[in-house]
Structure 1
Amino acid sequence: MNKGTITQTGRRKDPFTSIEDGLKPLLVSMKILGIYFDPSQAKNKVEPSETYPSRANPPGWWRSVNRLYCYTVLLLLWFNFGRCAVGLFPLDDGLPLRIILTTWVLLCALSASIIIASCQKLTHLRSFYKHWDSVFQCPLRDNMGCGSKFPEQYLKIGTASGWFLGTFNVAALCIIMFCNLPISLVYIKAFARPFPESQWVIIFNLVMHVFQSGVWLFPIVFIGIIARVIRAQFLQLGSVISKRIEEADGHFPDQLPELRFHYTQLCQAVDIVNRSFKWLLGVRFLLDIFLACFVSYQMINGPLDIFVIAVNVFWLGGSVVCTLVSAMCSSGVHDAVSDIFSCKIPTI
Structure 2
Amino acid sequence: MEVLHICLRPEHSWLFSAQASNMKVETITQSGVHITGNQKLSRTPFTSIEDKLQPILMSMKIFGIYFDPTQAKNKVEPSETYTSQEKPPRLWRSINRLYCYTVLLLLWFNVGRCAIGVFPLNEGLPLRIILMTWMLLCALNATIVITACQKLTHLRCFYKHWDSLFQCPVTDSLGCGFLFSRHYCRVGTAAGWFVSLVNIAALCVFMFGNLPLSPVYITTFARPFPESQLVVIFSVVLHVFQSGAWIFPIIFMSITSRVIRAQFFRFGQVLSKQIEQADGHIPHQLPELRFRYTQLCQAVDIINRSYKWLLGTCFILNIFLACFVSYEIINGPLDTFVITVNVFWLGGSVVCILVLAISSSDVHDAAHSLLDDIFSIGTRDASVEQLGQLNLFVSKLTGTSIGFTAIDFFVITKEFLLTLGGLFMTYFFLLLQFKIA
1:170 equivalent among 196, 200, 217: 200
Structure 2 residue matching 1:17: 3-state secondary structure: coil
Structure 2 residue aligned with 1:208 = 238
2:351 equivalent among 321, 328, 335: 321
Pairing 1:257-268 to 2, within 5 Å after superposition: 257-268=287-298
1:189 aligns with 2:213: no
Structure 1 residue aligned with 2:77 = 53
State the shift of 1:14 in Å.
3.4
Structure 2 residue aligned with 1:345 = 377
Pairing 1:12-91 to 2, within 5 Å after superposition: 14-41=44-71, 52-54=76-78, 56=81, 59-91=89-121
Task: Provide the C-alpha distance between the structure 1 equivalents of 2:81 and 2:218, rounded to a whole number of angstroms.
Answer: 47
Preserved CA contact (<8 Å) 1:52 1:134: no
1:241 aligns with 2:271: yes
Q: 1:38 is matched by which residue type in structure 2?
A: D
Q: 1:60 is matched by which residue type in structure 2?
A: R
Q: 2:344 is matched by which residue type in structure 1?
A: F
Task: Provide the C-alpha distance between the structure 2 equivalents of 1:286 and 1:133, rounded to a whole number of angstroms.
Answer: 33
Task: Provide the C-alpha distance between the structure 2 equivalents of 1:207 and 1:285, rounded to a whole number of angstroms.
Answer: 26
- The superposition leaves residues 163-209 of structure 1 with CA deviations (integer Å, 9 ceiling, x where unpaired) of 01100100000000111111111111111111111101110110011
Identity percentage over the alignment? 68
State the shift of 1:40 in Å.
1.7
Structure 1 residue matching 2:69: 3-state secondary structure: coil
Q: 1:220 is matched by which residue type in structure 2?
A: I
Between 309-318 and 71-80, the greater mean CA deviation after superposition: 309-318
Task: Provide the C-alpha distance between the structure 2 equivalents of 1:308 and 1:154, rounded to a whole number of angstroms.
Answer: 35
1:284 aligns with 2:314: yes
State the shift of 1:56 in Å.
4.1
Structure 2 residue aligned with 1:275 = 305
Equivalences, count: 333
Q: 1:71 is matched by which residue type in structure 2?
A: Y
Q: 2:164 is matched by which residue type in structure 1?
A: S
Structure 1 residue matching 2:262: 3-state secondary structure: helix
1:254 equivalent among 284, 287, 300: 284
Preserved CA contact (<8 Å) 1:11 1:142: no
Preserved CA contact (<8 Å) 2:46 2:76: no
Q: 1:131 is matched by which residue type in structure 2?
A: H
Structure 1 residue matching 2:202: 3-state secondary structure: helix
Structure 1 residue aligned with 2:167 = 137
State the shift of 1:311 in Å.
1.0
**What is the RMSD computed on CA atoms of the aligned residues?**
1.7
Task: Provide the C-alpha distance between the structure 2 equivalents of 1:342 and 1:322, rounded to a whole number of angstroms.
Answer: 32
State the shift of 1:212 in Å.
0.3
Task: Provide the C-alpha distance between the structure 2 equivalents of 1:176 and 1:289, rounded to a whole number of angstroms.
Answer: 26
Q: 1:256 is matched by which residue type in structure 2?
A: L
Where does structure 2 lack aligned partners over 5 or more consecutive residues?
1-14, 18-42, 83-87, 381-437
Q: 1:346 is matched by which residue type in structure 2?
A: G
> Relative to total residues, which structure has the larger helix share, 1 or 2?
1
Q: 2:77 is matched by which residue type in structure 1?
A: P
State the shift of 1:145 in Å.
0.3
Structure 2 residue matching 1:92: 3-state secondary structure: coil
Q: 1:125 is matched by which residue type in structure 2?
A: L
Structure 1 residue aligned with 2:253 = 223
- The superposition leaves residues 134-166 of structure 1 with CA deviations (integer Å, 9 ceiling, x where unpaired) of 100111111100000002121011100000110
Structure 2 residue matching 1:345: 3-state secondary structure: coil
Change (3 A) 1:335 1:283: same
Structure 1 residue matching 2:312: 3-state secondary structure: helix
Structure 2 residue matching 1:122: 3-state secondary structure: coil
TM-score after normalising by structure 2: 0.74
Q: 1:325 is matched by which residue type in structure 2?
A: V
1:110 aligns with 2:140: yes
Change (3 A) 1:154 1:42: closer
Structure 2 residue aligned with 1:4 = none
Higher relative contact order, structure no. (Cα contacts within 8 Å, ≥ 6 residues apart): 1
1:334 equivalent among 364, 367, 375: 364
Q: 1:181 is matched by which residue type in structure 2?
A: L
Structure 2 residue matching 1:342: 3-state secondary structure: helix
Preserved CA contact (<8 Å) 1:170 1:209: yes
Between 56-65 and 68-77, the greater mean CA deviation after superposition: 56-65
Task: Provide the C-alpha distance between the structure 1 equivalents of 2:286 and 2:104, rounded to a whole number of angstroms.
Answer: 48
Change (3 A) 1:193 1:11: farther
State the shift of 1:347 in Å.
3.6
Where does structure 1 lack aligned partners over 5 or more consecutive residues?
1-9
State the shift of 1:345 in Å.
2.2
Task: Provide the C-alpha distance between the structure 1 equivalents of 2:103 and 2:298, rounded to a whole number of angstroms.
Answer: 32
Structure 2 residue matching 1:226: 3-state secondary structure: helix
1:97 aligns with 2:121: no
State the shift of 1:310 in Å.
1.1
